[in-house]
């Protein structure tokens, strides 16, 4: 089922009125990040928009690999940095987008972001905070390094209702 197009117009309002629930995780390894993500993916549904935020190398792509495996996708998921979007077919379609090299909102429009946001799959966007007004996310995930721990990451999953 396609996501409601109304979401696009109600987005600014919903951000003012929204309720959210946050879950905190501490991952000690890339494998653990993938497991956290695969468990999280079980609750995903068509039309969900997941905004990923965190510094270079903080584990966003690693998390998307876990989402893919949770959705039953067998293809290898890599960073779509050079092609903007990776499309995968699983239990529901997964659209993996990376804003890292996007320079303007115009570029997003030309690339056809809406086609994915209001399509039939789950859209997961790395560096979503670069153009957050263009992303009506209902799930925000923040990745943080843990001081002095090379392979630990704090992951906060915030679901908006």
Q: Is 38 helix (H, G, I), strand (E, B) or coil?
A: helix
Q: Which residue is nearest to ligand ATP (CB)?
A: 59
| By the rule CB under 6 A, 56 interacts with ligand ATP | yes
- Contact with Mg ion (CB under 5 A): which of 37, 44, 60, 71? 60
Q: Which stretch binds ligand ATP (CB under 6 A): 14-22, 38-46, 52-60, 106-114?
A: 52-60
Interaction of residue 96 with ligand ATP, rule CB under 6 A: no
Nearer to ligand ATP by Cβ, of 3 and 33: the residue is: 33
Beta bridge mates, 24: 156
The SS3 call for residue 20 is strand
69 contacts ligand ATP (rule: CB under 6 A): no
Separation of alpha carbons 110 and 129, rounded Å: 19
Q: How far is the CB of 58 from ligand ATP (least distance, A)?
A: 4
CB of 4 to ligand ATP, least distance (A): 30
Instruction: Tell me which of 41, 53, 61, 141 binds ligand ATP, using CB under 6 A.
Output: 61
- Residue found by looking up tokens 């396609």 in the block: 2
The CA-based angle 51-53-59, given to 5 degrees, is 110
Residue 21 near residue 49, CB atoms below 8 Å = no
Q: Quick one: which of 15, 22, 42, 57 contacts ligand ATP (CB under 6 A)?
A: 57
Strand order in the sheet with 139-146: 20-27, 149-160, 139-146, 49-53, 122-126, 94-98, 85-88
Q: Give residues in contact with ligand ATP (CB under 6 A).
A: 27-30, 32-33, 54, 56-62, 79, 126, 151-153
């Amino acid at each position: 089922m396609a996501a409601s197009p109304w979401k696009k117009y109600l987005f600014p309002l919903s951000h003012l009125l929204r309720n959210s629930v946050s879950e905190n995780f501490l991952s000690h390894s890339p494998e653990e990040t993938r497991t956290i993500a695969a468990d999280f993916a079980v609750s995903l549904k068509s039309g969900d928009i997941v905004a990923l935020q965190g510094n270079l190398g903080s584990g966003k792509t690693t998390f998307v690999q876990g989402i893919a495996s949770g959705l039953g996708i067998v293809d290898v998921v890599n960073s779509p940095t050079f092609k903007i979007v990776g499309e995968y077919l699983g239990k529901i379609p997964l659209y993996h987008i990376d804003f890292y090299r996007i320079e303007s909102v115009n570029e997003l429009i030309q690339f056809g972001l809406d086609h994915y946001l209001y399509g039939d799959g789950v859209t997961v966007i790395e560096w979503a905070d670069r153009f957050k007004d263009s992303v009506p996310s209902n799930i925000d995930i923040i990745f943080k390094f843990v001081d002095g721990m090379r392979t630990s990451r704090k992951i906060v999953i915030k679901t908006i209702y």
